[in-house]
Amino acid sequence: MTQARPAFSGDVGRLAELTRRYARFSVSAGGLGSALGGALVLVAYFVGALVPDLSTGGRLGLAATPLVWIVVKELLRSRYYQRFGRVEEARPVFDRRLHLGLTLFTALVSAGIVVTVLARQWPLQWEAGTVGYLAYVAAMPLLVWQFMRTPLEFIAGVFLVAQAALVLAGGSYRLWEQPQAPIGGLALLVVGVSQHLEFLRLERELKSLRGSQG
């Protein structure tokens, strides 16, 4: 026979603090997902700029980086960082508005690029590179809204998507052309690793809390 657990007897202040810290990993803290994004930005930036004659495989590899990042980071978020149960972070109004603003800005720029390309190249040659380029540019606002929720994720993610689009169309950014990308990528890498270490501490605290409550 299992013994009934007693009513809650813990410290509600600590409970509130642990919940708040854990909830961050549902939206604003990406942990290893962020670190991966930062690393991919650095790879995409320097390979794109320093290797002028990329093979088709290399180009496809670079073009896949945003999708790989998004899939891995979302899997990590749901399967690893939220494995005690999903707790959706209550984000401050400023963060929500900033995210909305960045999405709208991206939508405006994307629409401008798509319209310009279509107008210049009409009637459009349905080449795979052009279609891939337009598809990535058109999808960018949706990707920003859904998966790039913090300013650093925005900088890194938009660069990865833009670089992927350019690479598909046969080009790539030159060195120093997008200086915010390696800076943002490096920052995301450092922040991601530090968030992961914070998660490991939090995990230990959550486990000890469970242990102490039987």
Partner 1 sequence: MSDAGPGDVGEPSSDAQGTTRAILNLDRLVHEPARLAILTVLAEAEEVEFRFLESVTGLTKGNISSHMAKLEAAGYVTVTKRFKGRVPSTSYSITDAGRAALRAYRAALAQLMRG
Residues whose CB falls within 8 Å of the CB of residue 200, separated by 6 or more in sequence, listed in order? none
Residue entry with tokens 């690793």: 193
CA distance 19 to 62: 38
Q: Which of 52, 57, 85, 123 binds partner 1 (CB under 8 A)?
A: 85
For partner 1, the closer CB: 92 or 170:
92
- Is 93 a binding residue for partner 1 by CB under 8 A? The answer is no
Per-residue contact string for residues 7-46; x = within reach of partner 1 by CB under 8 A? xxxx-x--xx-xxx-xx-----------------------
Q: Which helix H or strand E contains 144, and what residues bound it?
A: helix 128-147
CA distance 27 to 90: 9
- Is 204 a binding residue for partner 1 by CB under 8 A? The answer is no
- Is 128 a binding residue for partner 1 by CB under 8 A? The answer is no
- Is 198 a binding residue for partner 1 by CB under 8 A? The answer is no
Q: Which of 50, 71, 86, 115 binds partner 1 (CB under 8 A)?
A: 86
Tell me how far, at minimum, the Cβ of 86 lies from partner 1, in Å.
4
- Is 167 a binding residue for partner 1 by CB under 8 A? The answer is no
Q: Which of 59, 73, 77, 91 binds partner 1 (CB under 8 A)?
A: 91
Count of residues near partner 1 by CB under 8 A: 28
- Segment interacting with partner 1, rule: CB under 8 A, options 35-43, 61-69, 81-89, 150-158: 81-89
Tokens of 68: 């790989």
Q: Pseudo-torsion of CA 74, 76, 80, 86, nearest 10°?
A: -10
Dihedral pair phi/psi, residue 188, rounded to 5°: -65, -40
Tell me how far, at minimum, the Cβ of 150 lies from partner 1, in Å.
16
CA distance 214 to 212: 6
- Is 98 a binding residue for partner 1 by CB under 8 A? The answer is no
Q: Which helix H or strand E contains 16, and what residues bound it?
A: helix 12-23
